[in-house]
Amino acid sequence: MVSVVADLLQGTGFMEYSPFYYGYYSGTFQFEFGTGGATFDFPLAYFLVMLAVFLVNLVAVVYSSAKSFGAHLKTVDKSRAVFSNMVFGFWDYRVSTADGVKTQHEEAATSYKVILESKERKRMRWVSSRTNKCTI
């Protein structure tokens, strides 16, 4: 098990000939800079490049999705979602006493009635103005 993990991390063993590396570059390349030489590990470099490309694409997709989602939220008419906001977001789950639950239930019922009355008034105003336009 340890050798499998080591092969996976180092790019040796079964990973040398896997499609993950899209071929295998054997050995290392020696760079000569002044007195000491630096080694360059091709399998590791190939893995890191693919990882970097994946991460850049992931960040770009997440950023684009978040930007589009934010733009959509800004354009949504919040007055259209009043009932769903009331149904799914009104209840306070921290209320634990019977009196508190009863009070919150009455408050929710009153809020629903007020919203329904205001919607009905708007609808009646719209119908009456439309009727007036038709008679003129």
In 3D, which of 82, 84, 89 has the Cα closest to residue 118? 82
In the structure encoding, which two tokens stand for residue 101, read together? 């639950």
pLDDT tens digits, one per residue of 46-85: 778 889 999 999 999 999 988 888 776 666 666 666 677 7
- Does the structure show a pLDDT above 70 at 31? no
Every domain of the chain and the residues it spans: 2-74, 78-135
What does the pLDDT average to over 90-97? 77
Is 106's pLDDT higher than 70?
yes
Model confidence pTM above 0.75: no
